[in-house]
Amino acid sequence: MSVSMLSTFVKPMHPEGRRFVAIAAAATLVLFWLWAPLGWIALGLTVWVYYFFRDPPRVTPTRPGVMVSPADGVVSLLEPAVPPAELGLGEAAMTRVSVFMSVFNCHVNRLPAAGRIAHVAYRPGKFLNASLDKASADNERNGLAVDLPDGTRYGVVQIAGLVARRILCWAEEGQELARGERFGLIRFGSRLDIYLPEGATPLVRIGQTMVAGETVIADLTGTQDEG
């Protein structure tokens, strides 16, 4: 097998996954020793855990004035919605783009647009199906309010799902992050909500497949056509 073919299947793994892969691998060895068929099942599970925590490099667009998807997955909601109160984005509705991540997607989260992290807010909650609209209000979540260079502000919210029980966020208040830069991870199935700043035009459709850090989701200048 050539190096290029190998790189297609073998992706870098996020450090957060090392412990889980090590546990799964150890269990695999024990099960192989006890009964080979169980060992093969455990081996498949170990490969899946490695695959879940993959963190492949992404080519983020350099075009100015655009926002990119913060997550791999599918656009599940596109509608006006009032952002979570803890983000301090006001009580007026903003355009919300929701990206649902299944357990088969890469779960590393990336910042949609470069800016300063104005606020980080965690809120405990339920673990409903993340594809449901009410998950935005009821589920465990962690939100970022991000100041853009032009003075406007947008929000991005990590939402836990049925399987996900741990939201990780490495961004800190006052930190400057680039477009497409990693800021967090949600384990085992979840959702990301993006609240677009005033004047931004969404460029996605419900059901569209997203690639974190690459797929353009909105035009910040408001000059591009949604179609």
Indicate which residue of 69, 76, 98, 190 is catalytic: 190
Residue with tokens 């992404």: 58
Strand order of the β-sheet with 190-195 is 176-177, 115-123, 141-147, 153-160, 190-195, 94-101, 73-81, 209-210
What is the CB neighbour count within 10 angstroms for residue 128? Answer: 18
Is 76 in the active site? no
Residues contacting 138, CB < 8 A, separation 6+ = 125, 126, 128
Task: Provide the annotated active-site residues.
Answer: 190
